[in-house]
Amino acid sequence: MVELSRPGGGSNAEIARAKINLALHVRGRMADGYHRLETIFAFAEFGDRLEAQSSTDIELELRGPFAGDLDAGPDNLVRKAAELLRTHSGTLAGVKLILDKRVPVAAGLGGGSADAAAALRLLVRWWKLEVEAGALARIAADLGADVPACLDGRPTRGEGRGDALSPFPSEGLTGKPVLLVNPGVALTTSEVFARWDGIDRGPLGDWRAGRNDLTLPAIQCVPMIETVLDSLGRAEIARMSGSGASCFGLYATIADRDADAMDIGNARPGWWTAVSRLA
């Protein structure tokens, strides 16, 4: 079980907070092939940690329990974020970025998107850049549909591909105890969307009464997801995040969260869990 992580990380570091889709409604398929979504993004205090060190070039070093699941080459979103920001700003500065990969890869928790967003935030500060917020958001959008929401890192409503963002009230969310659980199975977004049945089940209103329309397709790929959801028995709300296979439970009390975490740890020691709060 991963222990609670606080926001921040220091002047030369940034926490890439794990992304959680509190609800995710798939409304249809658009002409460009992407799916039209309605979702509520929230973020855990827990996440990957990105650190900057001096260098004359752009370098990336991977550490942490899930470092072996990533490649530090040019396709890594952290490296892409650094290159795009350097090109946009015109700086000739370099940086060595050290990514402590604590969040599972291909898990529905926005790991790569959150890492890219953290790199943008960190490098604006590290390189002492003056970048207009709208320009930074456009760079984020070029990196992926979830990166703009991760850049802000606060509760946000997303529509379209998930990148048409609008403010969402954080009352009742900030500080909420949350438990993240992954059964140790990577699941690609394309694999899950390919199994979506194409039925529009209606708009997203109150997220608490909402749903994740990708849950059943994901369970078809990884039946264990249903067991994960059942294991969050003390949660007020238990759902899958994104395209899975990670699930989350939101709790009335820390004691309830920690009791579920302990039960899961005893019964399923091979599963990944992280206890945290919503940021």
Catalytic site positions: 19, 146
Tokens of 75: 């396709």
Exposed e or buried b per residue across 6-25, where buried means at least 16 C-beta atoms within 10 angstroms of its C-beta: eeebeeebbbbbbbbbbbbb
Residue 131 CA: distances (Å) to CA of 70, 86, 89, 120: 29, 11, 7, 10
Phi-psi category of residue 2: left, alpha or beta, with phi > 0 → left and psi -120 to 50 → alpha: beta
Going by DSSP bridges, is the β-strand pair 177-182/164-167 parallel, antiparallel, or unpaired? unpaired
Closest C-alpha to 197, from 38, 35, 31: 35
Contact 108, 241 (CB under 8 A): yes
Question: Any idea what the Cα angle at residue 237 is, between residues 233 and 240, rounded to 5°?
Answer: 90
Q: Which residues contact 225 (CB under 8 A, 6 or more apart)?
A: 183, 215, 218, 219, 240, 244, 245, 247
Coil vs helix vs strand at 11: coil
Strands (E), the chain: 13-29, 35-53, 58-63, 95-100, 156-160, 164-167, 177-182, 237-240, 247-250, 272-277
